[in-house]
Amino acid sequence: MLGSLVLHHANPAAAAALGSLTSNNYLRLRALKINRHSGKKQAPPVTFGSQNSSLGYRRLVSPSTSSICATVGEDSFKSSAVFTDDSSAVTMTDEEMESIGILSIDQALEPYKEHFKYIIKRYVDQKGLIETYEGGLEEFAQGYVKFGFNREEDGIVYREWAPAAQEAQLIGDFNGWDGSKHKMEKNQYGVWSIKIPNYGGNSAIPHNSRVKFRFKHGNEVWVDRIPAWIKYATVDPARFAAPYDGVYWDPPPSERFQFKHPHPPKPKAPRIYEAHVGMSGSEPQISSYREFADDVLPRIRANNYNTVQLMAVMEHSYYASFGYHVTNFFAVSSRSGTPEDLKYLIDKAHCLGLRVLMDVVHSHASNNVTDGLNGFEVGQSSQESYFHTGDRGYHKLWDSRLFNYSNWEVLRFLLSNLRWWLEEFKFDGFRFDGVTSMLYHHHGINMAFTGDYHEYFSEATDVDAVVYLMLANYLIHKILPDATVIAEDVSGMPGLGRPVSEGGIGFDYRLAMAIPDKWIDYLKNKNDEEWSMKEISCSLTNRRYTEKCISYAESHDQAIVGDKTIAFFLMDREMYSGMSCLTDASPTIERGIALHKMIHFLTMALGGEGYLNFMGNEFGHPEWVDFPREGNGWSYEKCRRQWNLVDTDHLRYKFMNAFDRAMNLLDEKFSFLSSTQQIVSSTNEEDKVIVFERGDLVIVFNFHPENTYDGYKVGCDLPGKYRVALDSDACEFGGHGRVGHDVDHFTFPEGIPGVPETNFNNRPNSFKVLSPAHTCVVYYRVDESLEADVDETSIAEVVVGKENFEESGSVIDDGNVGPRAEKSGEGSSDD
C-alpha cells in the first residue's frame, strides 16, 4: 500500500527504471574500501534493492516541486509540536502524545503512530532520567571534565570506566612504566580513579608524555590500554606497525592556541567542500593541519564554498580506513599535527568565513585491541561494556565493534564526545557517518529497501540508537543553535530530517546518496542517446518535502582505487595527453569537460537544498585515491591532490574549476539552493533537454550530443525580461562562446492565466533561447524598476566575471564575458 503520497510518473518505463536504482551499495563499498587496503578477504556483496534516490520510499512532494509529480494539499503540511523539550522537566501529556507533529506532515505515517509514540516515550524517559541523576543533558555531556585526565590546582585526577577490571594502575613515562606506586581505586559504578599530586610545584605528569591504563581482568592477565578519554595519541613512525601510545596533553598557556574569530553565520544553504587533510598536499606524503589551513583553505574560499567538511579527524590507527575505524574518539589524528594545529586550521577557516563540519563516527569503532576502545573488552557483559556482546556487537562487513546505545556510560561517552569537539575545537556541526547501520538491527546488510514504510518502522528498528541520535541532535542544537548536522543514511528513514520536537530524529540534512550512483550508472552503461531526461530529473527531485538533502555528483568513495572519478570515466587515458590548451581538444575531451560541468551543476541545482564536492573533483582530478599499503609498496603517489594541474594556465583543468567557482557564486548571488521553488517544466526525451525553475532562475540543460536548438521555447512563471546569469559554454569555462550574454529575452504570455492546461508546459509565460549541444544556461529575470539605477549586466559579470577569471586575462566588456557572441545567434528570442 503506497497511499496517496506517492510519486507519480507520466512514463511507466521511467518509473520502472527509477525503481531499479541501487543506492550507493554503501555497506559493500565501505567494506571493499577497507579490505582493499588491509589485504583481508573481501566481504560478500550487499544488495540494496529499489532505492529511489537516497530516500527509497514513497515521496512526500512539495506543491512546487515538479510538474511530473503528484502534489499534496496545503493542509497536509500543517504541523504541531509533540512536546516542549527545552524545559527542565521533560513530560508529555496524553494530548501531546496523540498530536505528533510529523504525522500531520505525512499522513501516510499514521498507521505507525504507535511506533512513534513508543520511540518518543523512550526518548523523553531517557532524557528525564539524565536530568534527574546528572543534572541535565548538557551537564551529562561534559564527561570529559570528570573522566580521563583533568588538572586540578594541586595535582592531576585520572578516572576510567572499566567495571570488568579487577585491579588497575596508571603507567607512563612519568613513572618509568611501573604502576606499583600508582594503583587506582574502584567505586561501585566500575569507575577507577587516582589523584597524582604535583611534584615540586609542577605537574607530576609532564605535558606531551606517554601514558597508559594498565588493568588486570578475570584471567589474572594484566593488559595495557590507551585511556578511553585520551586527548592525543601518537605512534613511533620509525617502528613498522608500532602500537599507539596515549599522550597527556596539557600545554602551558604560552603554547595553547587562542581562538580569535567567531563562528561564521549559518548560511542559507551549505555549499560543502569535503576534504581529507592528510592527502590534501601536492607532495606524496601526509599533509599537516597547518599546511591545509595555509594552502588549501584559500582555494576553498576562492571557489565560493561556505563550508568545509573534514574527514579523518578522530584518531584512527589504520590510515587507509579514510578515518572510519576510529580508535581514540577524543583525540585528533596525530598524523597531521597536534590539537593546537587543528584549532589553528578551524580558526583560519572562520577567519575566511568558512564553517567547519567534522565527520563524526559514532556508528561503530575500530576492532583494534591494543589502541582502541575494543581493548577494554575482556569477556564482560554488555552492560559493563562499550559494545554489545556476540553478533550484535560486531559488524561483519566492516570488521568493527558496535556500540550499546542503551548503556548509561556509553551515552555519556558519545554525547560528551560531541560536546568536546564543539566546544574545545569550535566545529560548526557534524556529518554523522554510517547512520543506516545505526538505525536498524540488520544494519542494512542484505536489505533491499523497497519503499514500504514497514521497512523503517518495525521490530528491525534499533530504538536505542534512534533515541541516542535524538539526544545527540537535541544536545548539538542546544549547545550551538546554528549548528549544521547531516546524516549519512542510504535507507531514507522518514522523519530523519525533522526536528526532535515533532517526533523526528533531528538532523538538518541527509545526504542524497543515490544521485552519484545514478550518474555512474549512466557513464558506465549508457551512451549519450540513451540518457533519459525524465529518469535523471526524477532521480534528482525524488526527496521528501520538508526534509532537506545535500546533493553530490561524486564522493570520495568513488575515487578509491578500483573505481574512477566522473572526469576519469568521461575522459580516461586522454586526460594524460589531451588536456593542453596548446592543442585542439579531441571530441572525447570536449564531451568530457562539457558533461563534467553539466553533471555537477544539474546535481547542485536540482538535487537538494545543499551541495557537496570532494576535494579535487571540482577541477576534474584524474586517476584515483590509493592509500599506502603493501600492495602498492606503501606509496603515497596516489594519496595526494595534484593542485599543479589546475594551477597550470595552459591546462584545461582550469575550465572545470572556473565553472565550479561560478556555480557556487551563482547561489551566493541568487540563493537558489535555499528556495522552495523548484519546478521541472520540461523533460524532452527527443530533444534531450531539461528545463526547470529554481528560485527566480530559469535553467536549461541540453544533453543532446549534437543538436543545437535556435529559438528554443522555454516556460517560466513571471513575465518580463530575462538575461544570462551563467553559461557553461562561455569561453572562460572551455566552451565556444555561442550564447550571447548581452541579449534581452522578452517573455510571451501563454494561454489563460491561472489555467495550467492552457499554458506552455504548465507555465504561464515563455521566452526563446539558443541552446547549444552539451550546454547548460541559467537565466535571471531583470528587475526593470531598478534598471535605470543599477547596471544589470553586472550580475552576469559577478557570476562569471572579473573576480573569478582575472588570473586568466579575461576581459569584461559591457557585461559580456570573453568574446562577444553574435546577437543573431539567439534566434527570435528578442524579436
Catalytic residue numbers read 433, 488
The CB density around residue 524, as the number of other CB atoms within 10 Å, is 9
Residues contacting residue 59 through CB under 8 Å, at least 6 positions apart: 5, 6, 7, 52, 69, 542, 543, 544, 545
SS3 120: helix
**Radius of gyration (C-alpha) of the chain in whole angstroms:** 28
CA 533, 538, 540, 545 torsion-angle sign: positive
Q: Are residues 716 and 682 in contact, defined by beta-carbon separation less than 8 angstroms?
A: no
240 grid coordinates: 613498522
Q: Round to whole Å and give the CA distance between 645 and 728.
A: 20
DSSP track, 768-809: EEEE-TTEEEEEEE--TTTTTTS-THHHHHHHHSHHHHGGGT
Classify residue 183 by its DSSP letter. B
Helix (H) or strand (E) holding 160: strand 155-161
457 grid coordinates: 518502522
DSSP track, 711-737: EEEEEESS-SEEEEEEETTSGGGTS--
Residues written for the chain: 831
Q: Are residues 555 and 519 in contact, defined by beta-carbon separation less than 8 angstroms?
A: no
SS3 646: helix
Residues contacting residue 701 through CB under 8 Å, at least 6 positions apart: 598, 602, 689, 690, 691, 775, 776
Q: Round to whole Å and give the CA distance between 713 and 702.
A: 13
Q: Round to whole Å and give the CA distance between 302 and 665.
A: 10
Report the half-sphere exposure of 366 (CA within 13 A, side-chain side): 24
